[in-house]
């Protein structure tokens, strides 16, 4: 068994830089007969290997389903005749639990071998956390192990199939996938030559944001303080005051940090009948709730616990998540409560724990166990840099925890001597008007993988990325450039708002 695996490794090494071959050296079905049980650090069992016929959108491929012991599931898709000698691992969303391999279809169509994992557990819904209840092994897999071991297993299987390993290995993911990417860059810098990490989930800060935001909009009777109408009122007021700061009124804030809006500007004047239920202004409790939502979670003595709160311009994203249509708790309350019950602490309190039992002053430090188990926010990326690898980091400015990513990037830059040094291997793109991983009124679709290929393979560092606005129905609209942080764009055109060239690079003073 070990001899077979050693032969595979030797074959992969000898052909690693050879030209792409036209066809695999092994039959797809034969992969299921091979043993990878002795694969160092990632003992693997192939459950099935079957051919999938080409379609008008995807090439034919060998679909391999397997498990890295004891329970990390994965699906690997190996092109039959069109392999480009590259490998891409696709990250997952939320708490994973399902294999979201379809998000790598674009890469498969380009000839990539692609893989995705369930991160060590199976679940009926990606926001489910019950799998983690008193299950340290699953938490370790989710925290850092699963991504690494599936990368090892995939490369070994790919080598057996093609007779050589990939010439380039990339990772791409958003949300939890973004966290996976940062974990790889920090803990396993040899796994990938390039990583795209979007809107990475900050384990502790993200949970505090759920708790703080969900609680901020509830009164002592668990009734919503703000209504849907108040959210539209806020959005309109923010845009009226700050939209033109970037040179163009278009419903997009180029950098929300430049906005100086105070919700007290919407305070109801005087007292009148119906004062508490008016929707054309904010009563004192509503002003306070909005201020808390824009602010970072804080202890009772005002100590700030995360880099920041919700950004100006993100108000419509509060609908459902924070402001429920039925006048009760938003989704964030459930997300926080479920995480507290089954995942957040070293010892899980279980299903009877309620969000009211959590106390910021007393319990915040209790989140540090999972922070260290699953964090992707260690700013020391020198191992990744020293390997010559490249990182593209991005986040939408309309996403709630956007400042977590800015804070991480600035900290990582400080470790290597400042942003001027960091841009040699890691670049951040803050996307105006984009929500979590996509959507929103700004540009929200990018060829991040193409930009990474250009940087890694041809040394063409991305000073800017051209984004396109894509509607929910898939229709494409305008395009605009997004510049590498800390640079940003400002509209300098006189008439045509859809010409990308009218958005000029600005360098912070």
pLDDT of residue 327: 87
* Cβ 3 vs Cβ 37: under 8 Å: no
Distance CA 52, CA 349 (A): 45
Say if residues 178 and 199 touch (Cβ distance below 8 Å).
Answer: yes
**Average pLDDT over the chain, rounded to whole?**
93
The count of other CB atoms within 10 Å of the CB of residue 284 is 11
Each residue's pLDDT tens digit, 176-194: 999 999 999 999 999 999 9
Q: Is 470 exposed, middle or buried (0-12, 13-18, 19+ CB in 10 A)?
A: middle
Per-residue burial over 236-269, b if 16 or more Cβ lie within 10 Å, else e, is ebbbeebbebbbbebebbbbbeebebebeebebe
> pLDDT tens, 293-322?
999 999 999 999 999 999 999 999 999 999
Cis link prior to 486 (omega < 30° from 0)?
A: yes
Question: Contact, 171 vs 88, CB < 8 A?
Answer: yes
Higher-confidence residue of 12 and 482: namely 482
Give residue 400's pLDDT.
83
DSSP state of 425: T
In DSSP notation, 329-345 reads B-HHHHHHHHHHHHTSS
Does the model's pTM come out above 0.85? yes
Nearest residue to 81 via CA among 114, 51, 111: 111
At residue 379, φ and ψ (nearest 5 deg) are: -75, 0
* CA nearest neighbour of 162 among 30, 352, 307, 250: 30
| CA dist 372 → 187, 368, 400, 463 (Å) | 12, 6, 22, 33
Delimit the domains of the chain by residue range.
1-166, 179-202+375-509, 205-356
Per-residue model confidence as pLDDT tens digits over 198-251: 999 999 999 999 999 999 999 999 999 999 999 999 999 999 999 999 989 999
């Amino acid at each position: 068994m070990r001899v077979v695996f050693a032969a595979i490794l030797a074959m992969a090494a000898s052909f690693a830089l050879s030209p792409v071959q036209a066809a695999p050296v092994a039959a797809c079905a034969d992969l299921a007969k091979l043993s990878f049980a002795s694969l160092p650090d990632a003992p693997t069992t192939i459950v099935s290997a079957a051919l999938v016929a080409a379609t008008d959108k995807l090439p034919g491929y060998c679909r391999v389903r397997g498990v890295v012991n004891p329970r990390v599931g994965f699906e690997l898709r190996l092109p039959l005749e069109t392999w480009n000698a590259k490998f891409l691992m696709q990250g997952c969303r939320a708490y994973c639990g399902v294999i979201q391999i379809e998000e790598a279809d674009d890469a498969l169509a380009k000839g990539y071998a692609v893989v995705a994992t369930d991160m060590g557990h199976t679940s009926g819904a990606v926001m489910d956390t019950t799998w983690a209840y008193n299950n340290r092994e699953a938490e370790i897999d989710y925290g850092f192990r699963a991504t690494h071991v599936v990368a090892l297993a995939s490369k070994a299987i790919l080598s057996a199939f093609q007779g050589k390993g990939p010439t380039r290995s990339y990772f791409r993911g958003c949300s939890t996938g973004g966290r996976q990417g940062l974990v790889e860059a920090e803990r396993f810098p040899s796994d990938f030559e390039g990583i795209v990490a979007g809107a990475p989930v900050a384990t502790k800060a993200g949970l505090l944001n759920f708790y703080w935001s969900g609680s901020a909009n509830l009164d002592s009777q668990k009734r919503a303080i703000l209504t849907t109408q108040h959210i539209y009122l806020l959005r309109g007021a923010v845009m009226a005051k700050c939209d033109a700061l970037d040179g163009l009124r278009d419903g997009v804030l180029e950098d929300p940090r430049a906005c100086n809006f105070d919700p007290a500007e919407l305070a109801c004047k005087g007292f009148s009948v119906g004062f508490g239920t008016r929707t054309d202004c904010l009563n004192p409790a509503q002003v306070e709730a909005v201020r808390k939502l824009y602010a970072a979670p804080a202890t009772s003595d005002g100590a700030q616990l995360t880099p920041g709160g919700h950004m100006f311009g993100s108000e419509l994203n509060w609908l459902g998540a924070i402001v429920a249509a039925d006048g009760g708790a938003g989704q964030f309350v459930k997300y926080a409560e479920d995480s507290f019950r089954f995942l957040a602490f070293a010892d899980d309190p279980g299903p009877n724990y309620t969000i009211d039992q959590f106390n910021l002053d007393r319990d915040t430090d209790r989140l540090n166990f999972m922070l260290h188990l699953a964090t992707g926010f260690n700013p020391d990326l020198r191992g990744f840099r020293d390997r010559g690898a490249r990182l593209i980091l991005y986040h939408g400015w309309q996403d709630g925890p956007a400042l977590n990513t800015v804070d991480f990037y600035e900290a990582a830059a400080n470790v290597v001597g400042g942003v001027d040094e960091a841009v040699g291997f890691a670049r951040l793109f803050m996307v105006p008007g984009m929500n979590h991983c996509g959507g929103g009124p700004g540009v929200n679709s990018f060829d991040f993988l193409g930009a990474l290929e250009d940087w890694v393979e041809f040394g063409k560092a991305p000073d800017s990325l051209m984004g396109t606005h894509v509607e929910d129905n898939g229709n494409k609209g305008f395009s605009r450039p997004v510049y590498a942080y800390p640079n940003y764009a400002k509209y300098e055109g006189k008439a045509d708002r859809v010409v990308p060239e009218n958005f000029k690079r600005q360098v912070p003073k």
